[in-house]
Amino acid sequence: MPAVLVEMGYLSHEKESKLLQSKSLQVKIAKSIVEGIRGYELA
């Protein structure tokens, strides 16, 4: 069974932590992950 580990940033890094709290960035990340999974399924 395929598996993926996605690390979008580090909460211990102050700048990344603030970025990851942004709802718009969270939506972009989620859409990108879904797009990647769909691309894998269609390959």
Contact 8, 20 (CB under 8 A): yes
Q: Is residue 23 part of a domain?
A: yes
Q: Is residue 27 part of a domain?
A: yes
Q: Is residue 40 part of a domain?
A: yes
Q: Is residue 16 part of a domain?
A: yes
**CA dihedral sign, ordered 30, 33, 37, 39:** positive
In this structure, what token pair is assigned to residue 38? 């769909």
pTM, 2 dp: 0.78
Q: Is residue 1 part of a domain?
A: no
For residue 38, what pLDDT is reported?
Answer: 95
Domain that holds residue 36: 12-43
Q: Is residue 43 part of a domain?
A: yes
Q: Is residue 30 part of a domain?
A: yes
Q: Count of domains in the chain?
A: 1
In this structure, what token pair is assigned to residue 10? 């580090």
Q: Report pLDDT digits (tens) over 1-43.
A: 888 899 999 999 999 999 999 999 999 999 999 999 999 999 9
